[in-house]
Amino acid sequence: PARRTLQRFQSTNRSRLSTGSFGSIQAASQAGIGTSYMGMVEHSSRAPSVRSLAESTHHLQDQRALEMYNGHSTLLSHQSGGFDDIDLPSAVKYLIASDPNLQVLGAAYLQHKCYSDSNAKKQARSLQAMPKLVKLFNSPNQEVQRHATGAMRNLIYDNVENKLALVEENGIYELMRTLREPDDELRKNVTGILWNLSSSDNLKDRLARDTLEQLTDLVLVPLSGLGGSGVIQQNPSEAEIFYNSTGFLRNLSSASQQTRQKMRECHGLVDSMIHYVNSSLEVGKSEDKSVENAVCVLRNLSYRLYDEMPPSSLQRLEGHRRNNSGMVTGELVGCFSPQSKKAREHYLNADIVTFTEVSKDPKGMEWLWNPQIVGIYNRLLQRCELNKHTTEAASGALQNITAGDRRWAGVLSRLALEQERILNPVLDRVRTADHHQLRSLTGLIRNLSRHARNKDEMSTKVVSHLIEKLPGSIGDKAPPADVIVNIIAVLNNLVVESPMAARDIVYFDGLRKLFYIKKRRDSSDNEKSSRAAASLLGNMWQYTKLHRDFKMKGYRKEDFLSL
């Protein structure tokens, strides 16, 4: 390069700013009837180009660094400055120069050029920039390391081919070596690279295999406050490192059953997430973005939990009262039949004994089904006012651990209803929820309504709120079909055991809405909700005391019983 270019770059580099990551998270969720599951697309985690960093100074909090940078930013933000004597092939050649200053210059040019230029990323790969940068990750020169990882962060952003090239060049191994360096700038880049890599589904299993244990030991345990004092003590750079790392875990946790299992079994991982969320709640930081990531991880690791947990743990939770199909077995309790009062008392006492044993000193994946976690999710629902992704994840996690016919799903459901009194905060969320939140919230209420002991009490609390969400005419704004099915399933669970539920459906104008839904069969989704409405209406007809009210509203027996 021209000597003045190198000198100018060196002088600006001495007071170089942190190459942080700017951008927002985009989250996507999928929910089934019984379980919910949250994945995540790529985070905007790039190392800013020289020009974009000059334009993005309003994001930076360190005012002294900002002033120092502004003193020379104009040199680098004009086309005639900074890199005017360099092109991409030259920059790639500098990566293998013997002079560390040239290596820094080459990597910095790549970082700048590949910030938003997809053609430059492709050209850099064809020029073999990827293996050259990987070799610089563990250079003895710290500035070379910083710029090499910063360049790689931009090269792989939104570029699947470059991600694969990085992995094929043994990049994961070199990144984990680099993560051991006691340099926050470097660790921010490394964790940012890992997060970007994890948005590729075909890399998630390999990333989990090669990174989880080291990332947990080096980042999650110390920065979550789990190790040492037990208090979260993060400077701004460490907060970003932890945020990147939890975003990485959030992506991995939406992968395969094998990866979920590996994450559950990784020593310290679940404990770190729980400790961070708990500690953040205690100091009033429930809106924290790392809390959002951590709760999403816990939600995903709770997906299909009872099917995927170790058999010994499941047997402990289930006891001997259920067979393989989940039904209560018919063995005698002493000389009493399973339906007798004595037998029911025996089972209730067995629940209490198991509950007491399981509640003691949870470790690792045991947290996922521990009774204490219901209280953590409940506090998130109550205290997190702004971050809807966090509350959606909390309700989704509760939906997962209360799903199905397992004994423990019922135990946790009744704990949520009777001790945590979770219905009120859940219904508060239902009033203002968007469609994504409604899926997990109504899925959770559906599970709770199956396991509730007092259906009358639950009916008085939920029926009016749920009826309000149902469409009653063509002009009404309707929630997604799976939400409608969830709501009707809740009402059905209540109606089969509670005449009060049937009465309240009539009182709150539910009949008109249910008949409207029953008649809508213009799509496969509407067909499902139509069948659900028909089943509920058929059950409501069984309450003969309500027939007079039905007729007063203009409905006949045929309306209720026809399919």
pLDDT in the model for residue 129: 97
Q: What is the CATH number of domain 229-318+343-420?
A: 1.25.10.10
Is the per-residue pLDDT at 141 higher than 90? yes
Q: What residue spans of 117-227 are helical by DSSP H? A: 118-126, 129-136, 142-156, 160-168, 171-178, 184-197, 201-215, 221-224
More confident residue, 145 or 8: 145
Closest CA to 82 of 90, 91, 73: 73
Q: Which tokens hold the place of 552?
A: 């007063």
For residue range 429-464, what is the model confidence (pLDDT) as tens digits?
A: 999 889 989 999 999 999 999 999 999 999 999 999
Task: Please compute the mean of the pLDDT values over residues 220-240 and round it to a whole number.
Answer: 88
For residue range 65-113, what is the model confidence (pLDDT) as tens digits?
A: 222 222 233 223 333 345 667 899 999 999 999 999 999 999 999 999 9
Q: 3-class SS at 38? A: strand
Q: How far is CA 250 from CA 214, 281, 436, in A?
A: 17, 20, 18
Closest CA to 412 of 456, 447, 463: 447
Check: CB of residue 157 under 8 Å from CB of residue 46. Answer: yes
Is the per-residue pLDDT at 8 higher than 60? no
DSSP designation for 16: P
Give percent of the chain above pLDDT 90: 72
Q: How far is CA 509 from CA 178, 263, 470, 491, 540, in A?
A: 64, 48, 10, 13, 14
Q: Which tokens hold the place of 349?
A: 């006492």
For residue range 488-542, what is the model confidence (pLDDT) as tens digits?
A: 999 999 999 999 999 999 999 999 999 999 999 889 989 999 999 999 999 999 9
Check: CB of residue 158 under 8 Å from CB of residue 117. Answer: no
pLDDT confidence tier of residue 227, bands split at 50, 70 and 90? confident
**Structural domain boundaries of the chain?**
81-199, 229-318+343-420, 454-562
pLDDT confidence tier of residue 341, bands split at 50, 70 and 90? low
Distance of CA 212 to the CA centre of its chain: 17
Give percent of the chain above pLDDT 70: 78
Check: CB of residue 541 under 8 Å from CB of residue 557. Answer: yes
Is the per-residue pLDDT at 31 higher than 50? no
Q: How far apart are CA 164 and CA 514, in angstroms?
A: 52
Range with the poorest average pLDDT among 171-185, 226-240, 422-436, 444-458: 226-240
| Fold matches, 81-199 and 229-318+343-420 | yes
Closest CA to 32 of 414, 400, 329: 400
pLDDT in the model for residue 487: 98
- Tell me the CATH number of domain 81-199, given options 1.25.10.10, 1.10.150.20, 1.10.3720.10, 1.10.1740.10: 1.25.10.10
Distance of CA 116 to the CA centre of its chain: 27
Q: What is the dihedral of CA 387, 393, 395, 400, to 10 degrees?
A: 180
- Quick check: pTM over 0.95? no
Closest CA to 49 of 153, 198, 134: 153
Q: For residue 30, list its beta bridge partners.
A: 37
Burial 9-35 (b: 16+ CB within 10 A, else e): beebeeebbbbbbeeebebebebeebb
Long-range contacts of 117-120 (CB under 8 A, 24+ apart): 118/158, 118/159, 120/88
Distance of CA 452 to the CA centre of its chain: 27
